[in-house]
Amino acid sequence: MDFRLKFTKTEVEKLIPALITTHHMALDKTDCAIIEVLFEDARISQRQIATKVGVAQGTITNRLRRLENEGIITGYTPILDAESVGWGMTVMTGLCIEKGRVIDVQKQISSDLRVFGVYDITGDWDSMVLARVKDRKDLDDLTKTVFTLNGITRSYTHVVLNTVKERGVHLPPHDQ
């Protein structure tokens, strides 16, 4: 008796996205080394990565393609100095949002260019918003136009005085 599952090509194509999105890809030491090199310089050539990691250039090409296809590496972008490009202040704002309106309000807030982070959180607030503004006048505008959207019942804004550390996503530490 044949107990193997049989799927049509259409059924397999429908299953693949679900398998990819629920899959947590394990990164090995080579993957981690490649990512660490890219953190130092995302513009480095694949040949230079291969030299630093100690593997063949073809391995780097294949690994990068797989890391990109799996959604581990989602892009290569410049990191800008906020003040140098005109963002004079960073603010963190806690929001209380009417029940049933959180997703809609967060989508509206997310569309504002000044907003660079919107989070669902635990505690006294329903959402935390991170934003950059040019100056006090721009903060006043953000507060009166974005943080008073229909559905927001209360906001509490903190102005960042000094940024001690700000970094994107990094690899979690490996168990040794």
Chain region(s) in the chain for CATH 1.10.10.10? 9-69
Q: How confident is the model at residue 3 (pLDDT cuts 50, 70, 90)?
A: very low
Is 50 exceeded by the pLDDT of residue 104? yes
Q: What is the DSSP string of 97-108?
A: E-TT-HHHHHHH
- The residue-averaged pLDDT of 124-140 equals 97
In angstroms, the CA 156 to CA 161 distance is 16
Tokens of 119: 């989070």
Selected from 3.40.50.920, 1.10.10.10, 3.40.1190.20, 3.40.50.880, the CATH number assigned to the domain covering 9-69 reads 1.10.10.10
The tokens 């799996």 sit on which residue? 70
The pTM score is 0.73
Percent share of the chain, pLDDT over 90: 72
In angstroms, the CA 117 to CA 137 distance is 21
Chain region(s) in the chain for CATH 3.30.70.920? 89-159
pLDDT at residue 22, as a whole number: 41
Fold observed for domain 89-159: Alpha-Beta Plaits (3.30.70)
pLDDT at residue 175, as a whole number: 57
In angstroms, the CA 151 to CA 103 distance is 10
